[in-house]
Structures are given as C-alpha cells and as structure tokens.
Structure 1
Amino acid sequence: MAKDQSRRTLLKNLGIGAGLLAIPSFSNASGFDIAINNRQDSTSKINHSVCRWCFADIPLKEFAKACRELGISAIDLLKPSEWEIVQEEGLACSMATDDFISLTDGFNDPENHQKLQTSYRELIDKAADNNIENVICFSGSRRGMDNETGWNNCVEGLMPLLDHAQSRKVTLVMELLNSKVNHPDYMADHTSWGAELARRLDRPNFKLLYDIYHMQIMEGDVIRNIREFHPYINHYHTAGNPGRNEINNSQELNYPAIIQAILDTGFNGYIAQEFIPTYDNKLKALEEAIGICTL
C-alpha cells in the first residue's frame, strides 16, 4: 500500500521479469480441504479479493486470470494504470490506491491537507469514473501527537473530501495498522481509535479497513472487536500471525471462526488476502487461503 516500507521493499525484491513465472493449471490442483469447483460455487457467501502487492512478481494480466479461476472476484490496492487490466479479465478493483498515498504523512497532520485533498479529489473522480467504490487512506504517523489532536486534524482534512466522495458514490476507507511490529508510530493502530474517528465524521462513506493480522498484534480479541465495531468496517485483510504469511494451521489465528464471525454481522463487502506467500508455488498458497475462507 502506498509508501508502506515493508511492502515497497518486498516489491523491489520481487522485481523480476514478467515472463519468468509460468501460471500452473488449476484443474489438477490437489492437497486442500475444499476443491476449486466448490470455491467457484455461485452460492459462496464471501466476496473474495487479494492484494496485488503480495503477488507482484506475477504479471497482472496472468494473475487476474488465475484469480478468476480460483473464484476471486476482485484485486485490492490497484493504481489507476492497473484498473483496466483487471477489468478486462472480468475482475473488479476492490480498493484503489495511488503513488501519492502515504502511510506516514496522512490526514492527522494539517500540513498535508492541501496536497492530500487535491490529489484525493482527482483519485476519487478517477475511481468513480471506473465504477470503483473504495479508496484507501491513512491516518499518518503520530510523531508525539495526542489522540484528540489526531482525531480533530483527521476530521478537518477528511470532511471536504467526504462531501465530494459522497457525490461520486465513493467511500474513503482508513486502514488500521499495527505500530508494534510493522509500522512504528502509526496513529490509527487500534480499532477503537478508528471507530471514534468514524463517529466524529458521522458520514456513511467513511469506513475502516480492519486488517486481522495487524489488529491481532495490537489488541487481539479479534472476534469480539469485529462484533462490536462492525458498523464502521467495510473491508477486511487477512494474514497469518506471527510472520504475515499463510493463514493455515502454521499460525495462531482461527480463520474459519473469524470469517464466520464476519458473516454473522451481515457483512457483504470484500475479504482480501494480504499474506506474503512462502510456498514455492505462490498461487497454491492463494488457493489454500481461499479454501480456508470459504464457508
């Protein structure tokens, strides 16, 4: 996402040629609890998505085709130059981003407001013109700022954009990230912080991106927090903890129970895989994750 250092470092390390990776056939895939045909069943309760940056070494067009075979209907965190590529393959962009978006320099600092409001307004219009409903945003780093100042500054910076975004039927979605392991000093690092900002904004087109991995690190009690704060959440990300890798039984989170809890709230948005695959066959890891999250 944007200027997320760990993600940018990974993308740089994965910067290999587009032709080096062969996309395997999924018709012979085996070794998982749920078959692909079941995952592609039209009765699936989950709107599956996946974050592009985790699979950046796979050419986007080929990745989109593979995702479609796996029953994934959208790809997360795409820039405007990438939207048409996935749309041509019948997939949606479930969360828009762009190069100007920063994790550290966000809406909690008034010095960023003018630049962000100009750039976000353009991105909102581009997203609306391409039938993309969600655009990501970030609080920014705390830098010694108290919560009250952070909330007030975010309200001041976001409110004019929310007026415009509402007229274009676009939702601004602030991601909750951990400040303990991956993003030191990030301000929106607890669900309650994001929910309080949402209450103060009181706009239907401001929501939270609840990242299960990040919130497990910061506060745990994942299912209880999903139940309590679900009115403010319109998007989820997954990854295993510790390590931010596959979501199978090699890590501590019980994803089937978490996905059921999400569904029990009436959620009908996207659940996007955002784990860093360790398998040699990265698409096999994605196949496994979709199976785990399909109820």
Structure 2
Amino acid sequence: MKPSVCIESVFRGLELTEALSLVKSSGYDAFEFWNWSNKDIDKMRAEMDRLELSIATFCTEGGTLVDREKHQAFLVGLSETVKVAQGLGCRSLIVTAGNELREVPREAQLENIVVGLRAAVPILEAAGVTLTLEPLNTAVDHPGYILARSDEAFDIIDQVGSEQVKVLYDIYHQQITEGNLVATMLPRLSSIGHIHAAGCPGRHELYKGEIHYANVFQALRSAGYAGYVGLEYFPSEDAASGLAKARELFL
C-alpha cells in the first residue's frame, strides 16, 4: 500500500514546482492531481525527474459518461489524456460519471456509463492504462451527481468486464454515503484500482474526524491491497504536519 499526495487539495494554490518540492520534503514519493490541461506538463516531467517522484493518477478530461451523446467527446478526451499519462509514466486515470439528466430514466443513465466505459476499453488496453470510476457523495459535496454508492459502481465495473476499468473507492465520500467501509471494500478489493482518503466530516487531515484510518489501512494491508492511497484532503493546519502524521499510517 503506497501513499500519494493530491497536490491540488493538500497544496491548493501553490505553484507546481513548490508543491512538488513539498511532496518530496514531506517524505512522499508519489503525487496526483485533478486536471492536466491547465498545467505545464513539460515542467511537471522535469520536476518529477529532478525529485524522483512518480504520478499515481490524474483525471481524464472531455465529454461525460452519463450522456451517450457526449461519449465521442469523452473518448477523444480520454485518448488525449492517455498520451499525457504515457509521457508522464502514469498508468492510472480517474473518470467521473457526470450529473444526473432529469429527463432520462436513471437505469438508462447507468447503462450509458457502462456503454461509454466499454468503448474506452480498447484505448486503455492498447496503452496499458487503468481507468478508475469514482462514486462521489451527493449529500455534502456533489449534489446532483449520478453515482454515489459503491455497489452501483462495482456493478457497472462488473458489466464492463475489463481489468483496465476499476473503481476508485474514496473513503471520505463513502463514509458519508454508506459507511461500513472495511466490510464494503475487502470483498471487492480486486475491483478497486485506487483509493482516496480524507478526514470525515470536514475533508481535513486523516486523524481528524470519525474514521479510524489506522484500522482501515491495517485491514487493507492485511488483505493484500498494494495500490495507491491518495491523500485528497484540505488542510486545516500546517500541511507538513498533517502529512507527517498521515505518513505514520503507512509504516
């Protein structure tokens, strides 16, 4: 199990070079971010090489899965994102499904997500990249989003039927949506391609809130999870201090 620092939340507002330097000086070897089109990718590559950092994952851009009419834009955006990922040595990407369409039955929208992900599989297989679908909570942070529950996300992944398409299980979001974290994750560990973590409530440091991350991480470790856990939280105190305390959870 490997930690990754989300520079757009933990180091929100900092210039790229400074953020990556802080990732390294805080004792981490990997980072992640959200959007790539607003970043200097050449500078990122140079700083990664200089600091000996890896990218765990970042988001694909373009189109939306929930709307079948926008699948072509999604596939074009995915192809562009895959090229960026290959240039950065990144083998995992994140996709969100989009907001609900009020005029379309929910089952049809979920089917659209499956269809869009199936169409993405040849692109992913050719590049050796995994795409992770992320459920988000709709009660606090993302009202209107189509996909809140992990069981629906796992069902979608099962229907897609490709090892290149998995679930991003965000512990913070799923604590709000459904709780029962360990019992939900462990039986589906092979379908989880990435994990996010933040304190709940508040989305601050991992040691703040109701989630006992030491127990959650120990359960994941014992079950054999060897992927990344992205620290995607918004600091309520000195970022370096929070990262130091989070790092202890991975030892």
TM-score normalised by structure 2 residue count = 0.90
Q: Judge conservation of contact 1:226–1:261 (CA < 8 Å) in 2.
A: no
Could you tell me which residue of structure 2 aligns to residue 135 of structure 1? 93
- SS of the aligned residue for 1:142 comes to coil
Residue 273 in 1 paired to residue 231 in 2?
A: yes
Q: Deviations over 1:133-164 (max 9, x none)?
A: 01111111123454431232112212222111
Runs of 4+ in 1 over 3 A off after TM superposition: 144-147
Which range moved further: 87-96 or 181-190? 87-96
Deviation at 1:89, TM superposition (A): 1.6
Residue 61 in 1 paired to residue 61 in 2?
A: no
Could you tell me which residue of structure 1 aligns to residue 186 of structure 2? 227
Deviation at 1:277, TM superposition (A): 0.3
Q: How does 1:200-219 map to 2 (within 5 A)?
A: 200-219=159-178
- SS of the aligned residue for 1:94 comes to strand
1:96 to 58, 73, 78: 58
TM-score normalised by structure 1 residue count = 0.77
Structure 1's 163 and 92: CA in aligned 2 closer, same or farther, altered over 3 A?
same
1:120 to 63, 78, 100: 78
Q: Deviations over 1:20-58 (max 9, x none)?
A: xxxxxxxxxxxxxxxxxxxxxxxxxx3110111111233
Residue 50 in 1 paired to residue 2 in 2?
A: no
- SS of the aligned residue for 2:40 comes to helix
CA distance in 2, matches of 1:240, 1:149: 34
**Amino acid paired to 2:50:** E
Could you tell me which residue of structure 2 aligns to residue 285 of structure 1? 242
Give the count of matched residue pairs: 243
CA distance in 2, matches of 1:215, 1:146: 24
Deviation at 1:228, TM superposition (A): 2.1
> Kindly, what percent of the aligned residue pairs are identical?
26
CA RMSD of aligned residues (A): 1.8
Residue 174 in 1 paired to residue 133 in 2?
A: yes
Q: Judge conservation of contact 2:132–2:165 (CA < 8 Å) in 1.
A: yes
Q: How does 1:28-39 map to 2 (within 5 A)?
A: none
CA distance in 2, matches of 1:238, 1:140: 21
Identify the structure with bigger relative contact order (alpha carbons < 8 Å, sequence gap 6+). Answer: 2
In structure 1, list runs of 5 or more residues that go unmatched. 1-45
Could you tell me which residue of structure 1 aligns to residue 115 of structure 2? 156
